Amino acid sequence: MNTTSLNWELTQDNDRITLHLIGELSRNTLLPLWEQRGSLFSGNSTNLVCDLSQIKRIDSAGFALLCNLVNDAKVRSNSVVFLRSVPHQLITLADLFGLSDWLAPHIQHGNS
């Protein structure tokens, strides 16, 4: 029996939406978030902050979802995605896939 899960909460402050991800961001857990990703960029120009401080594990599928959010923001809207409290696993995956330089401008340091 698989007991891993992914939960999330959205908070909004003016033009910034914070997506608090909680649990495991993996192939087995990300489908509900993947299906709702389009609603994160509906409306006016918005900055999306993905708070990863409560992510216990991320695999390559979870990494791909985050990369897709970053790319969607660039392509489909005037939005920007920032990643906060990035786990070491994400940095390792970015290195393995040769995407460290592409992802670096989206990594937010500190709590701003």
Query: What distance in Å separates the CA atoms of residue 9 and residue 21, rounded to the nearest whole number?
Result: 7
At residue 70, φ and ψ (nearest 5 deg) are -60, -45
The CATH class of the 6-106 domain is alpha beta
pTM, rounded to two decimals: 0.88
Query: What distance in Å separates the CA atoms of residue 95 and residue 99, rounded to the nearest whole number?
Result: 6
**pLDDT higher than threshold 60 for residue 2:** no
What average pLDDT does range 48-59 have in this prediction? 96
Q: What is the pLDDT of residues 61-77, one digit of tens each?
A: 999 999 999 998 888 76
Query: What distance in Å separates the CA atoms of residue 49 and residue 17, rounded to the nearest whole number?
Result: 6
Query: What percentage of the chain carries pLDDT values higher than 90?
Result: 67
H/E element holding 63? helix 60-76
Query: What percentage of the chain carries pLDDT values higher than 70?
Result: 90
Name, in order, each residue with C-beta under 8 angstroms of 18's C-beta and a sequence gap of 6 or more.
10, 11, 12, 48, 49, 50, 51
